[in-house]
Structure 1
Amino acid sequence: ALGANSPFLFGKELWRETRIALFEQATDTRPEELKAQGVRPRVWFGERWITSIFDQFEENVRYFPALLPITEEEDPVEVFERGDAPALQELRLHNGTIYRWNRPVYDVFRGKPHLRVENRVLPAGPTVVDILANAAFYYGALRVLAEEDRPIWSRMSFTAAEDNFHQGARQGINARIYWPGIGEVPATELVLRRLLPMAHEGLSRWGVDTEVRERLLGVIEQRCLTHINGAEWQVRTLHQIDSAEQPLDRRDALREMLRRYVEHMHSNEPVHTWPLD
């Protein structure tokens, strides 16, 4: 919701983060018959909370056939027994063809195996400082949520989380979000009253300097107060150009909006500070 930055596709104003719907639809090759049978799409939010990485890999095998029949010569059991980390190339390749928006990944880096979670939700831009602010907010809030005595996933249904995800993508910064103990509230209000203090605390636990924390989360705060993120700036600017200049072709207005976007992007000033005229 806060980071939405792709409101246009082929000249049409669509979702505030159209990238989500575009990727889900463009990669969904299931005919209606298979959809009715419950066959899962390869791009999805998921269908339940998982408590172990094994849950995900079991789902992968159960629901998704391998796209590429490739096998490696490595014997992972033999590699493990001699004290090394198996590459598990087949598992990694298979997991790489299933695009959960938050995707746990097994990998080996410099000989050390690890698990990580790919957050594929956060949009890029409009500026580097906006990207850093998004990441700081996400990792700060995540730290606190993960360490709570009663974690969020024990208080919110998976269906509610999925609905929040799509509402944020569809409505952007104007979305209304469900939160346990509060109910449905504007995303900006939820951030200002609940999640932003949480992000400050989380970054403090990570050891982030106060000056850096205040700078980056201040961008998030002002974005909420002004109700301007990348998507809103693009939409409002386009409408302003349409109204003021009455171009013969809407593509002219889109080109002018994009020209201004690129110009402001190189300033590295947060998008909520960009002029709308």
Structure 2
Amino acid sequence: MGAEVEAAQFTREDRKQHRQKVRRGLDVLARMLTESRFDFERPMAGLEIELNLVDADFEPALRNAEVLAKIADPSFQTELGRFNIEINVDPRRLADFGFSSFEQSVRQSLNDADPRAEEAGASTVMIGILPTLRPEHVTAAATSENPRYSLLDRQILETRGEDIEIVIDGVERLHVVTDTIMPEAACTSTQVHLQVSPDDFAGYWNAAQAIAGIQVAVGANSPFLFGKRLVAESRIPLFEQATDTRAEELKNQGVRPRVWFGERWITSIFDLFEENARYFGVLLPVSSEEDPVAVLESGGVPELSELKLHNGTVYRWNRPVYDTHDGAPHLRVENRVLPAGPTVVDTMANAAFFAGLVRALAGQDRPVWSQMSFAAAADNFAAGVRNGLDAEVYWPGVGQCPVTELVVRRLVPLAANGLRQWEVEESEITRLLGIVEQRCLTGRNGATWQSDQVAALEKGGASRDEALHGMLARYTELMHSNEPVHTWEVA
């Protein structure tokens, strides 16, 4: 969930100073964009995968500190809940066999980590929401030890001024009230990072927004929460509500939520950082000693710590990223809509579909976002979240149509062309996009398999709790096989 911060009590002066430094950083970013100071000649891609920890009974294992101590690998980090960890995969180019390299790296890391995690009484599961979670697992006591998380918890609740109410109406209805943001820890995601040039950023971000609903529909893997079957990707509404800083009156006034799809197409990455500064109050007003103007004028590269920290507390589904590496600044689109899992190869297929599709769409002479309203993209997102592979979406030149038909007929070929522009090997394109295509042809993704498996176990006489535990046991076994989810049978 971002950079670490020290435990602190914040004053009004802290907030004032931080706001001024965010605005100063915004001015510096504008200058850097004008002066073309960014590294983008050999663009890299990155990957983060959030994992759940379970014990031998497939209950949440609140042991991430012990697990990380056993793993002793800096690529594994804490996440919000004590039953979460995250793996950060070293960035690399997509050219040649980049996706195979990612896949081998993730599988090797997980294979090395699991025996060590077992020494701490836990094992890892890649899944959008851990189906055996119950409300008693997501209290404040389950927060990870990193001070950032308890600070965020306190700041969000203080800003909101009242308890958080979570209501999700799906196949079944969930209604819970909580005094902590910890239910957000149930949301485990895959984040894909694409490095892009300043000139190309707006096109990539707009393309990512245009396909977000289609990504969710094809990759949905979170149908259950707290024992209830809800929507295909319940992680999305859960995240939106569990970190909402707005009381009811502010919602009625139209105040923007911190977990935000957005409201318009953009012309520059600057639009997004400016919106962050203009619309969203500071949650973590931690300021550095850096004077970014002085650093820039001396020929250096500013860290823009305040701008980056504030950006990390505005949870866009496609987030702009400014960062530095080896003394050079760069820009990334961080795609955050995908759940974790079901397998490593499914994760690579999702990433390839995204990377290929945005590359192809961003390069079109008449881009898709000039032919559809932003509201249509938001409606597609809502449809994908709710209905998964059964969603109907709008696409220019096609109109309203089943998402599976759109993906197979139009978007898989388009994504293949985009991957060729990334110089991805043809065998990788065929293998990974074939997985996406087969999900659409079989009607099987993580969400449908989980739902069908639980239904089959309940039909055989299991209670809902027994069925969820039985499903997760089978899911974990199949996850380790690394056979794509469309091949999984319901037992």
TM > 0.5 between the two? yes
State the partner residue of 1:251: 465
1:29-40 correspondence runs (5 A):
29-40=245-256
- Tell me whether 1:200 sits opposite 2:416 in the alignment: yes
1:218-233 correspondence runs (5 A):
218-233=434-449
Shift of 1:242: 1.2
- Tell me whether 1:112 sits opposite 2:325 in the alignment: no
User: What is the CA–CA distance in structure 2 between the aligned matches of 1:120 and 1:148, rounded to whole Å?
Assistant: 24
Q: Which has the higher strand share?
A: 2
Per-residue deviation, residues 65-105 of structure 1 (Å, max 9, x unmatched):
11122221111111111111100111111111100000111
User: What is the CA–CA distance in structure 2 between the aligned matches of 1:171 and 1:3, rounded to whole Å?
Assistant: 11
User: What is the CA–CA distance in structure 2 between the aligned matches of 1:252 and 1:241, rounded to whole Å?
Assistant: 8
Per-residue deviation, residues 216-264 of structure 1 (Å, max 9, x unmatched):
1111111111010000000011111111x212x2101111111110011
Matching residue's letter, 2:478 = H
Shift of 1:56: 1.1
User: What is the CA–CA distance in structure 1 between the aligned matches of 2:467 and 2:484, rounded to whole Å?
Assistant: 23
State the partner residue of 1:95: 311
State the partner residue of 1:133: 349
- Tell me whether 1:272 sits opposite 2:486 in the alignment: yes
Matching residue's letter, 2:242 = A
SS of alignment partner, residue 46 of structure 1? coil
2:286 to 70, 81, 95: 70
Shift of 1:152: 1.1
User: What is the CA–CA distance in structure 2 between the aligned matches of 1:213 and 1:32, rounded to whole Å?
Assistant: 47
Aligned-pair identity in percent equals 65
User: What is the CA–CA distance in structure 2 between the aligned matches of 1:98 and 1:165, rounded to whole Å?
Assistant: 18
1:7 to 215, 223, 244: 223
User: What is the CA–CA distance in structure 2 between the aligned matches of 1:214 and 1:263, rounded to whole Å?
Assistant: 26
State the partner residue of 1:19: 235
Per-residue deviation, residues 193-226 of structure 1 (Å, max 9, x unmatched):
1000001111111111111111111111111110
State the partner residue of 1:212: 428
Per-residue deviation, residues 103-153 of structure 1 (Å, max 9, x unmatched):
111111221111111100012110001000111111111111000001111
Shift of 1:155: 0.9
State the partner residue of 2:107: none
User: What is the CA–CA distance in structure 2 between the aligned matches of 1:71 and 1:273, rounded to whole Å?
Assistant: 51
SS of alignment partner, residue 338 of structure 2? coil
Per-residue deviation, residues 33-78 of structure 1 (Å, max 9, x unmatched):
1112221110010111111111112211211111122221111111
SS of alignment partner, residue 66 of structure 1? coil
SS of alignment partner, residue 218 of structure 2? coil
Shift of 1:29: 2.7
Shift of 1:275: 1.1
SS of alignment partner, residue 51 of structure 1? coil
How large is the Cα RMSD of the aligned pairs? 0.9
User: What is the CA–CA distance in structure 2 between the aligned matches of 1:154 and 1:16, rounded to whole Å?
Assistant: 29
Which protein has greater RCO, CA pairs closer than 8 Å, 6+ apart?
1
Per-residue deviation, residues 165-207 of structure 1 (Å, max 9, x unmatched):
1111111111111101111111100000100000111111111
Question: Which stretches of structure 1, 4 residues or longer, exceed 4 Å deviation after superposition?
Answer: none
1:153 to 369, 394, 405: 369
SS of alignment partner, residue 71 of structure 1? coil
Number of equivalenced pairs:
275
